């Protein structure tokens, strides 16, 4: 229960960064925080009390399902790719407008700057 509350708090911090901030770089950081919170939640909730890692040993019958961990490894790779793409886009917008403020960049791009 405590882990769920902690992950929800981390998720909300990331969501606040995406929604409330005008700085594009901070929005990307917020998106990364959201991704991390979701991955941590799935990894924490993927295990069960009284189970062991799925390593072949004699006498181990209760094993943890490895699918959530495998899915989260995929989610981490996708999150890194999305972050890299977002940072590249922010760099291009900054090079074109000279600002990281999303509203100011929209004004400058509308003026043909």
CATH T-level assignment (fold) for domain 2-46+66-110: Helix Hairpins (1.10.287)
Average pLDDT over residues 49-75: 73
Span 88-97, pLDDT tens digits = 999 999 999 9
Domain ranges in the chain are 2-46+66-110
Q: How far apart are CA 51 and CA 64, in angstroms?
A: 6
C-alpha to C-alpha distances, 23 to 45, 51, 92, 112, nearest whole angstrom: 33, 45, 14, 21
Q: Is the pLDDT of residue 68 over 70?
A: yes
Q: What are phi and psi of 105, to 5 degrees?
A: -65, -40
* Percent of the chain surpassing pLDDT 90: 61
Mean pLDDT of the chain: 86
Q: How far apart are CA 22 and CA 14, in angstroms?
A: 14
Distance of CA 19 to the CA centre of its chain: 15
């Amino acid at each position: 229960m405590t882990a769920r509350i902690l992950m929800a708090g981390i998720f909300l911090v990331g969501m606040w960064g995406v929604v409330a901030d005008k700085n594009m770089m901070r929005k990307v950081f917020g998106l990364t925080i959201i991704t991390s919170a979701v991955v941590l939640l799935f990894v924490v909730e993927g295990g069960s009390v009284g189970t062991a890692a799925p390593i072949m040993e004699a006498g181990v019958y209760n094993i943890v399902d490895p699918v959530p961990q495998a899915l989260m490894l995929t989610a981490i790779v996708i999150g890194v790719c999305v972050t890299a793409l977002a940072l590249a886009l922010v760099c291009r917008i900054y090079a074109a407008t000279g600002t990281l403020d999303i509203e100011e960049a929209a004004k400058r791009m509308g003026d043909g700057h």
